[in-house]
């Protein structure tokens, strides 16, 4: 297929490379020259603007920082410029309202579109192991599966327009809360004289088990290997978790949902960001307790 890929950053760079590796003809664009050079090395054709990249595309994938940028790129340079009938797939993590608005606008202009945010970080993007949560019509989701497959461990239909973004923000709010809980429990154990590794051995096989404890232990050299073992470098940045939590809090306000733990987790990640941990892995909350 001829696939245009817009946004070749930490995530999009590897994703576009995997599409090219799978034999698709990838037309790539990013504002960054470095990102474009890397895409070229990875087998993509590169362009100097979005309109040229989407010309002749059967599918357009966007992987951009936020909803404002996604809206501006789609409405200015994709919708009305990509061929009629092209499938639009937004993989960025953005607010539900903008995701739904974009699908409505694209549909009115004659395009099929899905929201398809991802779970899994940069390693999963590079390795073609992302989980996609996809919102849209049955027909659009079925077509999107073919495009997403070379980048995916799993492609899961979440529901109608925007449902992928709902799944993503709820998943990450849950992740934020159990990471904070894990850090607190590990710290409390330590303060009360229990060896952290012993606590890990017990709780990871007891009812306290969860992904943050069992598979991503946020304490250096305890339990599972994680960015904690490397001074919290790499992994999933505090700033990105905060972005996702803010999306969840805005959606909670708009839908009158009560999310006291999510709200508290947002405050905790805001404090960590202010304290200079924005670029560190989100398990670094452990160091703030």
Residue 258, Cβ density class (10 Å: 0-12 exposed, 13-18 middle, ≥19 buried): exposed
Q: Does 148 bind ligand NAD (CB under 6 A)?
A: no
What's the closest the beta carbon of residue 270 comes to ligand NAD, in angstroms?
A: 17
Binding test (CB under 6 A) with ligand NAD, winner from 240, 241, 247, 248: 240
What's the closest the beta carbon of residue 240 comes to ligand NAD, in angstroms?
A: 6
Q: How far is CA 15 from CA 64, 103, 285, in A?
A: 12, 22, 29
Q: Is 168 one of the annotated active-site residues of the chain?
A: yes
Binding test (CB under 6 A) with ligand NAD, winner from 54, 73, 103, 151: 73
- Taking the C-alpha atoms of residue 54 and residue 26, their distance in angstroms, rounded to an integer, is 10
Q: Does 10 bind ligand NAD (CB under 6 A)?
A: yes
Closer Cβ to ligand NAD, 7 or 135, answer by number: 7
Alpha-helix runs per DSSP H in the chain = 12-21, 33-41, 50-54, 67-73, 96-108, 122-127, 138-148, 163-191, 196-203, 211-214, 238-255, 260-272
**DSSP conformation class of 7:** -
Using CB under 6 A as the binding rule, the residues of this chain from 85 to 144 that contact ligand NAD are: 92-93, 118, 121-122
Q: Does 8 bind ligand NAD (CB under 6 A)?
A: yes
CA-based nearest residue to 100, from 133, 67, 78: 67
Binding test (CB under 6 A) with ligand NAD, winner from 12, 162, 227, 283: 12
Q: Does 65 bind ligand NAD (CB under 6 A)?
A: yes
Active-site residue (options: 71, 168, 187, 280) = 168
x-marked contacts with ligand NAD along 16-45 as a string, rule CB under 6 A: -------------xxxx--x----------
> What are the beta bridge partners of residue 130?
152
> What are the beta bridge partners of residue 60?
4, 88
Closer Cβ to ligand NAD, 78 or 106, answer by number: 78
Closest residue by beta carbon to ligand NAD:
9
What's the closest the beta carbon of residue 16 comes to ligand NAD, in angstroms?
A: 11
Cβ 277 vs Cβ 208: under 8 Å: no
Tell me which residues are annotated as active site. 168
């Amino acid at each position: 297929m001829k696939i245009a890929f817009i946004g070749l950053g930490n995530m999009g760079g590897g994703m576009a490379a995997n599409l090219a590796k799978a034999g698709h003809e990838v037309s790539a664009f990013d504002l960054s020259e470095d990102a474009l050079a890397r895409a070229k090395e990875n087998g993509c054709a590169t362009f100097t603007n979005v309109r040229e990249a989407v010309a002749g595309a059967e599918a357009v994938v966007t992987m951009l920082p936020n909803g404002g940028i996604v809206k501006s790129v789609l409405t200015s340079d994709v919708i009305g410029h990509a061929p009629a009938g092209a499938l639009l797939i937004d993989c960025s993590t953005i607010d539900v309202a903008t995701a739904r608005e974009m699908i409505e606008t694209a549909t009115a202009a004659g395009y099929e579109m899905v929201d398809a945010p991802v779970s899994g970080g940069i390693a999963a993007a590079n390795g073609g192991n992302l989980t996609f949560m996809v919102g849209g019509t049955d027909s659009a989701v079925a077509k999107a599966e073919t495009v997403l497959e070379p980048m995916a461990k799993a492609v899961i239909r979440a529901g109608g327009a925007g449902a992928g973004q709902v799944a993503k923000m709820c998943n990450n709010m849950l992740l934020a809360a159990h990471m904070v809980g894990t850090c607190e429990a590990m710290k409390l154990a330590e303060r009360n004289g229990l060896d952290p590794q012993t606590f890990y051995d017990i709780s990871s096989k007891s009812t306290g088990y969860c992904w943050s404890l069992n598979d991503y232990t946020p304490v250096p050299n305890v339990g599972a290997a994680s960015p904690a073992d490397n001074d919290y470098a790499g992994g999933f940045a505090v700033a990105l978790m905060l972005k996702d939590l803010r999306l969840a809090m805005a959606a909670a306000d708009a839908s009158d949902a009560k999310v006291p733990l999510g709200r508290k987790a947002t405050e905790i990640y805001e404090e960590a960001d202010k304290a200079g941990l924005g670029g560190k892995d989100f398990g670094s909350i452990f160091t703030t307790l």
